């Protein structure tokens, strides 16, 4: 059954675009009800506008605390019948317990390393500098632990031929674009059941 998504993105939005393309091509049985961003200059906004998807912009500077910020998003999101929140390059940690409880087992993230190795914002650089030959991507459920929620899916990528951290990032990103829409589709089809993780 088609699932309703809210996608969260802070920047470039290439994963968001990959999801939109897969939906259009009939490869991902989902509908994006809104894009949430903390960055009014995010390129992801353009992809939403092209498809007439509502964009909800929340700037952290307008809220006293990170929890207030998350709760403001929660308040608006509740107006949409959302089945799944998809973090796609969202550069904030969700800290509100109310938010995490309300969407328990309904938030997923993609991370460009084989977690638990290399959590955090520089995963590809960290893997490259550690001399890893194999890295990859992880899709996981989001809970209160940074990059630490239950792992749904991992895909290994051979990075032994990469000459820079940027090359590593680009190589992994290609697979992110394939597997993120695929896993969302698996969730839509009931082949992956998040509450079982």
Which residue numbers are catalytic? 111
For ligand GRF, the binding residue among 112, 136, 149, 181 (CB under 6 A) is 112
Q: State in angstroms the smallest separation of the CB of 18 from ligand GRF.
A: 8
Encoded one letter per residue, x for contact with ligand GRF by CB under 6 A and - for no contact, window 130-169 reads ----------------------------------------
What number of chain residues touch ligand GRF (CB under 6 A)? 13
Those residues with Cβ within 8 angstroms of residue 120's Cβ, 6 or more apart along the chain or in another chain: 126, 146, 147
Q: For the chain, what is the total number of helices (H) and then of strands (E)? A: 6, 7
In angstroms, rounded to a whole number, what is the distance separating the alpha carbons of residues 191 and 68? Answer: 35
Encoded one letter per residue, x for contact with ligand GRF by CB under 6 A and - for no contact, window 66-95 reads ----------------------xx------
In angstroms, rounded to a whole number, what is the distance separating the alpha carbons of residues 25 and 81? Answer: 23
Within 10 A of 11 (CB to CB), how many other CB atoms are there?
A: 17
User: Are 163 and 172 spatial neighbours (Cβ–Cβ below 8 Å)?
Assistant: no
Q: Which is nearer to ligand GRF, 27 or 177 (CB)?
A: 177
Residues that bind ligand GRF (CB under 6 A): 9, 11-15, 88-89, 110-112, 173, 176
């Amino acid at each position: 059954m088609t699932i309703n998504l809210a996608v969260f993105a802070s920047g470039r939005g290439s994963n968001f675009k990959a999801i939109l393309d897969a939906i259009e091509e009939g490869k991902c049985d989902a509908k994006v009800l809104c894009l949430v961003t903390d960055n009014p200059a995010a390129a992801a906004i353009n992809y939403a506008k092209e498809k007439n998807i509502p964009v909800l912009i929340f700037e952290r500077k307008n809220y006293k605390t990170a929890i207030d910020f998350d709760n403001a998003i929660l308040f608006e999101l509740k107006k949409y019948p959302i089945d799944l929140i998809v973090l796609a390059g969202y550069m904030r940690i969700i800290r509100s317990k109310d938010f995490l409880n309300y969407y328990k087992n309904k938030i997923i993230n993609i991370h460009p390393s084989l977690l638990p190795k290399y959590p955090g914002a520089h995963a590809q650089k960290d893997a490259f500098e550690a001399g890893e030959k194999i890295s990859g991507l992880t899709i996981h459920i989001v809970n209160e632990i940074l990059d630490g929620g239950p792992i749904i899916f991992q895909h290994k990528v051979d990075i032994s031929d990469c000459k820079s951290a940027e090359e590593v990032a680009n190589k992994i990103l290609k697979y992110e674009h394939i597997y993120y829409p695929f896993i969302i589709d698996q969730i839509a089809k009931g082949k992956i059941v998040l509450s079982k993780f």
